[in-house]
């Protein structure tokens, strides 16, 4: 133990760092904070799923729970968004990031107390924010709806995690910085800047007019591109080769992918405002950047595909691989779709329709959430030294979520295109003159069938989440096998007894 705070922060003063820590010791050191973040994440996932179903149902059946003021659609949908983003996704990100950083640094976790306090503050902030939204204090700025009495709490939590990450990186024993480490450090570095600028320029010292919209979408898109995407990619770049026992096909491509993402992604946020009241040159810059993103996306997709090729039979055995591959494929698809959506001619149809909602769920669920699920399936057994209790629940989780999100994205994409075409339509009358546009309420009525299908998709996804939560809890409470102290229980595969 270091005798003083400064000594504990300086790698040069620690005598026990001469050897690289064994994987078992590294994993064991991450157990407590990882469990705290993972447990919180799963709870918020369930909360977010409940609000998702309520919001989805209300959109096609508005009288549902209509007399409960704190569940009006505006609040229910906002509660869903914030619970799944700041509750589930960010907590899962922290857990996966800290476990990966410990492994990549080849060093046991230090200053674990920082992480505990951070986790507590983060959950407190999210809870206060959620209650605030339910009470009607939403700021009504998308992705930033938490009232300003909640966000400083989140900021404290984040500062602690950032400090911890810096310390851990300094203590790293690996000479080569693996590509996942680059992505994680970059994400941890970028996020506080995004969040503080957005809070200051929109809420604490608000800017004027359409600049607000620009700041809003700079923030929201960059949370996707500079926080969630790097963390998802960091996970794929680690778990894909680890599960297969094969290094990444072209490591050069992964480094290229990282730097091109860093250069191009942050310009793209303006594509949310195409056709809106912001200067055309700003929109064009966003469109150009959105197309340049094809470079890192294709590079990453190619790399992952070429790594998997020839070893795809492992999909049968590894739950992690199933989720990671599903996530990786959908990363490529959703990103390419995003580039297309940035075209003015495409945006003219799909902007401000359900299509955007489909795309958002494609990215945050079919890519990010599925990658997080895969990561959790890998991490949890290694930190608590137990196996997943039920293979059937794992399968149910995978098929329900994969099937559910596919149905969701397909249904809402069709709905959005139909909406967009109808809203733009100017039918020509029999006399050759332009007729009147299709009445808005007609378009709304035509959309209801798709919204009902979306609720069905949501129920299927919820079933998957319940299966996951049951397996997760069961695994935590079941007794550990006597004598297990190995870091990776699945080394001796033929000895395992798991029902197919």
Partner 1 sequence: MPEWFLYFVALPMALLIVASAVYGLYWASQKGQLQNLEEGAKVIFDHEEPIGRPTDQILNQPKTAKPLKT
- Total number of residues binding partner 1 (CB under 8 A)? 64
Q: Does 389 bind partner 1 (CB under 8 A)?
A: yes
Which residue of 2, 9, 23, 65 would you call a contact of partner 1, by CB under 8 A?
A: 23
Which residue of 42, 231, 243, 384 would you call a contact of partner 1, by CB under 8 A?
A: 243
Q: Does 191 bind partner 1 (CB under 8 A)?
A: no
Least Å distance between CB 429 and partner 1? 50
Least Å distance between CB 148 and partner 1? 15
Which one, 7 or 200, has the nearer CB to partner 1?
200
Which one, 433 or 491, has the nearer CB to partner 1?
491
Contact stretch for partner 1 (CB under 8 A) within 51-59, 118-126, 176-184, 461-469: 176-184
Which one, 26 or 119, has the nearer CB to partner 1?
26
Which one, 7 or 496, has the nearer CB to partner 1?
496
Residues 143-148: contacts with CB under 8 Å, at least 24 apart: 143/81, 143/85, 143/216, 143/219, 143/220, 143/223, 144/198, 144/199, 144/202, 144/203, 144/216, 144/219, 144/220, 145/78, 145/81, 145/82, 146/82, 146/86, 148/199, 148/203, 148/204
Which residue of 70, 149, 259, 352 would you call a contact of partner 1, by CB under 8 A?
A: 259
Q: Does 238 bind partner 1 (CB under 8 A)?
A: yes
Which one, 200 or 425, has the nearer CB to partner 1?
200
Please name the residue that has the structure tokens 């003021």: 69
Per-position x/- string for 276-315, each x denoting binding to partner 1 as judged by CB under 8 A, each - no binding: -----------------------------------x--x-
Contact stretch for partner 1 (CB under 8 A) within 28-36, 83-91, 193-201, 464-472: 193-201
Integer Cα distance of 224 and 254 in angstroms:
19
Tell me how far the alpha carbon of residue 283 is from its chain's centroid.
Answer: 26
Least Å distance between CB 97 and partner 1? 16
Q: Evaluate whether 219 touches 195 at the Cβ level (below 8 Å).
A: yes
Which one, 206 or 275, has the nearer CB to partner 1?
206
Q: Does 425 bind partner 1 (CB under 8 A)?
A: no
476 CB-near residues (< 8 Å, 6+ apart)? 35, 39, 384
Q: Does 244 bind partner 1 (CB under 8 A)?
A: yes
Which one, 51 or 158, has the nearer CB to partner 1?
158
Count Cβ atoms below 10 Å from residue 431 Cβ, excluding itself: 6
Q: Does 19 bind partner 1 (CB under 8 A)?
A: no
Maximum CA extent, the chain: 91
Least Å distance between CB 401 and partner 1? 16
Which residue of 395, 403, 421, 456 would you call a contact of partner 1, by CB under 8 A?
A: 395
Per-position x/- string for 317-356, each x denoting binding to partner 1 as judged by CB under 8 A, each - no binding: xxxxx-----------------------------------
Least Å distance between CB 149 and partner 1? 20
Contact stretch for partner 1 (CB under 8 A) within 2-10, 175-183, 400-408, 454-462: 175-183
54: buried, middle or exposed (CB in 10 Å: 19+, 13-18, 0-12)? Answer: buried
Which residue of 37, 57, 146, 178 would you call a contact of partner 1, by CB under 8 A?
A: 178
Which residue of 247, 279, 435, 439 would you call a contact of partner 1, by CB under 8 A?
A: 247
Cα 366-372-378 angle, rounded to 5 deg: 130
Q: Does 207 bind partner 1 (CB under 8 A)?
A: yes
Q: Which of residues 35-64 bind partner 1 (CB under 8 A)?
A: none
Least Å distance between CB 316 and partner 1? 5
Q: Which of residues 107-166 bind partner 1 (CB under 8 A)?
A: none
Q: Which residues bind partner 1 (CB under 8 A)?
A: 22-23, 103-104, 174, 176-179, 189, 193, 197, 200-201, 205-208, 238, 241-248, 251-252, 254-255, 259, 262-263, 311, 314, 316-321, 377-378, 387-389, 391, 394-395, 478, 481, 487-488, 490-491, 493-500
């Amino acid at each position: 133990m270091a005798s003083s705070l400064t000594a504990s922060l300086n790698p040069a003063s620690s005598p026990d760092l001469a050897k690289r820590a064994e994987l078992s010791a590294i994993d064991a050191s991450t157990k407590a904070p990882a469990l705290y973040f993972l447990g919180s994440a799963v709870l918020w996932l369930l909360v977010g799923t409940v609000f998702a179903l309520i919001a989805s149902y209300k959109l096609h059946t508005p009288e549902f729970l209509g007399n409960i003021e704190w569940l009006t659609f505006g609040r229910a949908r906002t509660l869903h968004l914030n619970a799944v983003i700041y509750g589930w996704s960010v907590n899962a990100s922290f857990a996966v990031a800290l476990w990966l950083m410990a492994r990549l640094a080849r060093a046991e976790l230090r200053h674990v107390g920082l992480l505990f306090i951070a986790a507590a503050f983060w959950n407190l902030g999210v809870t206060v924010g959620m209650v605030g939204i339910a009470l009607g204090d939403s700021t009504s700025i998308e992705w930033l709806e938490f009232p300003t009495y909640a966000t400083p709490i989140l900021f404290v939590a984040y500062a602690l995690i950032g400090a911890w990450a810096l310390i851990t990186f300094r203590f790293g024993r690996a000479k080569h910085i693996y590509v996942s480490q680059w992505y994680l450090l970059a994400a941890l570095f970028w996020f506080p800047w995004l969040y503080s600028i957005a809070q200051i320029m929109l809420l604490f010292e608000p800017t004027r007019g359409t600049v607000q919209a620009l700041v809003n979408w700079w923030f929201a898109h960059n949370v996707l591109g500079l926080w969630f995407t790097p963390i998802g990619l960091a996970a794929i770049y680690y778990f894909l080769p680890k599960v297969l026992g094969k290094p990444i096909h072209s490591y050069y491509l992964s480094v290229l992918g990282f730097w091109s993402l860093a250069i191009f992604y942050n310009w793209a946020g303006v594509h949310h405002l195409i056709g809106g009241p912001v200067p055309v040159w700003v929109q064009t810059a966003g469109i150009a950047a959105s197309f340049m993103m094809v470079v890192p996306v294709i590079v990453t997709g190619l790399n992952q595909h070429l790594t998997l090729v020839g070893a795809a039979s492992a999909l049968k055995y590894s739950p992690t691989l199933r989720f990671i591959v599903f996530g990786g494929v959908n990363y490529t698809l959703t990103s390419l779709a995003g580039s297309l959506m940035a075209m003015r001619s495409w945006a003219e149809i799909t902007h401000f329709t359900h299509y955007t909602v489909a795309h958002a769920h494609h990215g945050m669920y079919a890519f990010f959430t599925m990658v997080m699920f895969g990561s959790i399936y890998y991490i949890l057994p290694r930190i608590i030294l137990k196996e997943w209790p039920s293979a059937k629940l794992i399968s149910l989780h995978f098929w329900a979520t994969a099937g559910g999100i596919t149905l969701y994205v397909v249904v809402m994409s069709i709905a959005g295109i139909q909406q967009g075409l109808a809203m733009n339509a100017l039918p020509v009358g029999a006399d050759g003159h332009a007729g009147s546009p299709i009445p808005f309420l007609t378009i709304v009525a035509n959309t209801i069938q798709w919204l009902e299908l979306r609720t069905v998709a949501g129920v299927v996804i919820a079933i998957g989440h319940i299966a996951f939560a049951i397996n997760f809890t069961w695994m935590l409470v079941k007794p550990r096998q006597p004598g297990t102290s190995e870091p990776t229980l699945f080394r001796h595969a033929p000895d395992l007894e798991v029902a197919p």
